[in-house]
Amino acid sequence: MSHPGAPKVTYNRVMLKISGEALMGDQGYGLHPPTVQRIAEEVKSVRDLGVEICMVIGGGNIFRGLAGSAQGMERTTADYMGMLATVMNALAMQSALESIGVFTRVISAIPMDQVCEPYIRRRAVRHLEKKRVCIFAAGTGNPYFTTDTAATLRANEMACEAIFKGTKVDGVYDKDPKKYPDAKRYDNVTYDEVLQKHLGVMDASAIALARDNDLPIIVFSLDEPGGFKGILAGQGTYTRVHG
């Protein structure tokens, strides 16, 4: 529940999309528990404002389907392995969130009843209404679709008001700011510009799906402590992708 004196937030229900790599910390592979815990604290701080939160976490810290298929593995098999990696990340995040008192449900597009719930839209909406965090795992359940597309699909199905894409940089740039000091950051950019200029916010099918449903994407830095909460209150540096 939001507390008296809490900052006013712009959104009531949002999708937070983070990459699997965001959970690695400084390691080259796998999960870094203190980093997972820090992100969980960020999510709790926003949930405590009364915002309903869905999450989609990538699987690239454990297995990346595209990389697997590039090494001669059949693409479909590689993508399913990538989906299973996202379930592992979702369970780690659930554990971290519940350790700080946030009720969380992992909801998988691939049924695996022993570890998480199957995806049933109306049940997921009910969880959100009860202020539980819903982590959607296993992508869309289909090969050839990324977790970016899964996040956009679920955000639409859950009637989220925006997708918050947490990255390593504080917005969308015309080129990689870590390599090019003269990279220019956009405050606002349209879906069509992202597609035409290959700005790398999300993959093309995710951007097209967001555009067709007029769902804004807020790109911000997950490395900035308090960033998620601040941006929901209209502060901080970010890029808004919209129509």
Tens of pLDDT, residues 92-134: 999 999 999 999 999 999 999 999 999 999 999 999 999 999 9
Q: pLDDT value at position 155?
A: 98
**Where does residue 206 rank: exposed (0-12), middle (13-18), buried (19+ CB within 10 A)?**
buried
Q: Quick one: average pLDDT of 221-236?
A: 88
Eight-state DSSP code of residue 183: P
Q: What percent of the chain has pLDDT over 70?
A: 97
Contact (Cβ atoms closer than 8 angstroms) between residue 28 and residue 65: no
Answering whether pTM is above 0.85, one says yes
Contact (Cβ atoms closer than 8 angstroms) between residue 123 and residue 177: no
Determine the 3-state secondary structure of 204 from DSSP. helix
- How sure is the predictor about 66, in pLDDT bands with cuts at 50, 70 and 90? confident
* 165 compared with 175, residue with greater pLDDT: 165
- How sure is the predictor about 2, in pLDDT bands with cuts at 50, 70 and 90? very low
Does the pLDDT of residue 4 top 60, yes or no? no
- DSSP states along 63-91: --HHHHHHTTS-HHHHHHHHHHHHHHHHH
Mean pLDDT of the chain: 93
Q: Quick one: average pLDDT of 175-198?
A: 93
Please give the structure tokens belonging to residue 26: 């400084």
Q: What percent of the chain has pLDDT over 90?
A: 82
Q: pLDDT value at position 6?
A: 55
Q: Roughly what angle, to the nearest 10 degrees, separates helices 147-157 and 204-212?
A: 20
